[in-house]
Structure 1
Amino acid sequence: MTTRAARPGRRPGGPDTRGEILRAARESFADKGFSATSLRGIAREAGVDAALVHHYFDSKDELFIESMALPVDPRQIAARIMDGPPEELGRRIATVFLGVWESPDGQQRMKAIFRSVVSSDAVARIMREGVGQMIIQPVSRSLDAPDAHLRVSLAATQLIGVAMARYLVELEPVASTDLTTLIDRLAPVLQLHLTG
């Protein structure tokens, strides 16, 4: 009976290969940030062939979304925000962003992400780069203004503040105000940042 010699090179996919890829991705995003992370580098860290990473994940964006346990795909968020007339952009942004927080699963994940962002410089950098590239940049490009990036960033700060007050600090009456009223109050302020 002949025994096969072990083949050199990367190991093939195993029972938790996907988990190993996600672990390596989280570490790489934390150490290097979104921009400097590559799928090949993640494959190297996970000890698998790069083709296996592509087998499980279509792109670096998808791997980022899953490794960070985001409750929604930021690319879909950007598409929903940009789908409509410019004069309703503030309302769409408020509706989409707060809609993510209003679902029980979304709220749980977003709370975890926000708490991680404020307690870890690495997580803050990852989120800033990843979400910036997938949401803030495309929305900025859709505005016809020389300072579009600043405008969208100011709208984001407004939303982050409201989310912190409503869902984490539970500041009253913001925490108990019904969602429609909250969106009605936020939409014009966001619109002013974006197109005013």
Structure 2
Amino acid sequence: MIRSETGDDGAEGGGVTAERRRPGRRPGSADTRGEIVVAARKIFAEKGFDKATIRGIAREAGVDPALVHHYFDTKEGIFVAALHLPVDPSKVIPLVLEGPREEVGERVARFILTMTADPMAREPIVALVRSAMTNERVVAMIREFMTRAILERVAVGLDIPPLRMEAAFAQMFGVVLLRYVLQVEPVASVDIEELVGLLAPTIQRYLGAD
């Protein structure tokens, strides 16, 4: 595996001059994208979301940072791929923020409940929740990602205090936990639209403009 001897700021280290790699697939590599994902998973686990960098992931994978951007665009994008998350916040958040402000609570509730209704989308989320219950590193990594990539962005987009966004998220997280992890009835089997109707006013109170 080829490693660069340069730091994230591009300065050479250890007196070794590393040849600058051109963006593109490495010779002999059949799955460069997959190797980047493996490297990203390792870096995120070691450093957490905040301290992990595209350059650091590229060094671990032995590729140019431009190639990481080519495949994943942003750090959030590669985090989603590395943890097999069902959605990329950078693509979903604009959709949630669009539309009438007085309906944002309904949009949030319906989106989360509809997404987690799909077993393929729900599986990695449930796996992360279970891991977070016993693994402090997983907790820190998820907390950093949720805070930076989702909660803060939505709070800024809606121009509300972060506490309101966190309260809304806690409400929805609790419902998903009861519905799919603990499987508490009747929450576990009630129709999605009934849950949306029940939860939307509360989420709206947190997120709406008062």
TM-score (ref. length: structure 2): 0.81
Q: In the alignment, which of 75, 87, 99 is matched to residue 72 of structure 1?
A: 87
Aligned partner letter, 1:56:
Y
Residue 163 (structure 1) shift: 0.4
Aligned partner letter, 2:120:
D
Residue 62 (structure 1) shift: 1.3
Residue 74 (structure 1) shift: 1.5
Distance 1:151 1:44 in 2: 39
Residue 76 (structure 1) shift: 2.4
After superposing on structure 2, the runs of 4+ consecutive aligned residues of structure 1 that deviate more than 3 Å are 8-11
Matched, 1:35 2:37: no
Identify, as 1 or 2, the structure richer in helix. 1
Aligned length: 187
SS in 1 for 2:189: coil
SS in 1 for 2:196: helix
* Unaligned stretches of 5+ residues in structure 2: 1-17
Superposed counterparts of 1:11-90, under 5 Å: 12-13=26-27, 14-90=29-105
CA-based RMSD of the aligned residues comes to 2.0
Matched, 1:157 2:160: no
Residue 25 (structure 1) shift: 0.6
The answer on whether the counterparts of 1:81 and 1:89 sit within 8 Å (CA) in structure 2 is: yes
Distance 1:77 1:50 in 2: 25
Matched, 1:106 2:121: yes
Distance 1:143 1:43 in 2: 34
1:66-97, CA deviations, whole angstroms, 9 ceiling, x for partnerless residues?
11101111222211211112211111110111
Distance 2:96 2:75 in 1: 22
Matched, 1:169 2:157: no
TM-score (ref. length: structure 1): 0.86
Residue 113 (structure 1) shift: 2.2
Distance 1:121 1:35 in 2: 15
